């Protein structure tokens, strides 16, 4: 017990000497009053800590560490992983939209009299973005004819593409460096 009181007084004396020395070395300016305030608060913390240990049977250090541990548990990896997944999904959607628009602009630049609708499917795998599928619907020069609508029907890749469709498919294969079976060209 006597040893604890001796250490307590020694810690307070060392803190006062240190704070006084630092205050003497500082220039006289407007920052000095804020430094005095911080040193005063630190000194109060040093003085109060042993009293709280004795009276409350706890330590300020322990309470601060427990607080940060609880905070760390509350916002653990599951929360961070959720935010990371949402961020990845948002990034992939933005990338897909930008890719669709870039392909559309590239096609319009090279095939002036044709309108395009582009839809891509992309996947993020092993820190790489892979293009799974590119669907391009093109409308050339004339008014689009009205087609019979069947609910639930998916348009399949047209095996008999006209010259424009074949040119578009070849152009996309060369530009995107992907296989033609990943490209679906539909004449609208």
Query: Would you say 162 and 98 are in contact if contact means Cβ atoms under 8 Å apart?
Result: no
Q: Which residue, among 131, 143, 140, has the nearest Cα to 98 in the 3D structure? A: 131
Q: Is 68 domain-assigned?
A: yes
If asked whether residues 43 and 111 sit together in one domain, one would say: no
106-155 confidence digits (pLDDT tens):
888 888 888 889 999 988 787 787 888 999 988 876 555 555 666 755 55
Q: Is 11 domain-assigned?
A: yes
Q: Give the C-alpha separation, 106 to 92, whole Å.
A: 21
Helix residue ranges, H only, the chain:
2-25, 32-55, 60-74, 77-110, 163-176
The domain of 59 spans 2-74
Instruction: Tell me, yes or no, if the pTM score tops 0.85.
Output: no
If asked whether residues 138 and 65 sit together in one domain, one would say: no
Q: Is 131 domain-assigned?
A: yes
Q: What CATH number has the domain bearing residue 96?
A: 3.30.300.30
Question: Cα 179–155–148 angle (5° rounding)?
Answer: 155
């Amino acid at each position: 017990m006597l040893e604890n009181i001796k250490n307590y007084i020694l810690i307070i004396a060392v803190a006062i000497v240190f704070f006084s020395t630092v205050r003497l070395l500082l220039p006289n300016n407007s920052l000095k009053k804020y430094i005095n305030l911080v040193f005063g608060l630190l000194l109060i913390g040093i003085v109060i800590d042993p009293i709280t240990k004795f009276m409350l049977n706890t330590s300020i250090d322990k309470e601060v560490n427990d607080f940060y541990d609880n905070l760390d548990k509350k916002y653990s990896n599951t929360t961070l992983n959720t935010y990371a997944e949402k961020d990845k999904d948002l990034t992939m959607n933005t990338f897909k939209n930008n890719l669709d628009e870039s392909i559309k602009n590239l096609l319009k630049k090279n095939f002036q009299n044709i309108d395009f609708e582009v839809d891509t499917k992309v996947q993020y795998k092993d820190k790489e973005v892979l293009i799974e599928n590119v669907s391009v619907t093109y409308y050339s020069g004339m008014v689009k004819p009205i087609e019979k609508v069947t609910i639930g029907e998916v348009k399949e890749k047209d095996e008999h593409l006209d010259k424009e469709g074949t040119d578009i498919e070849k152009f996309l294969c060369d530009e995107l460096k992907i296989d033609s079976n990943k490209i679906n060209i539909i004449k609208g």
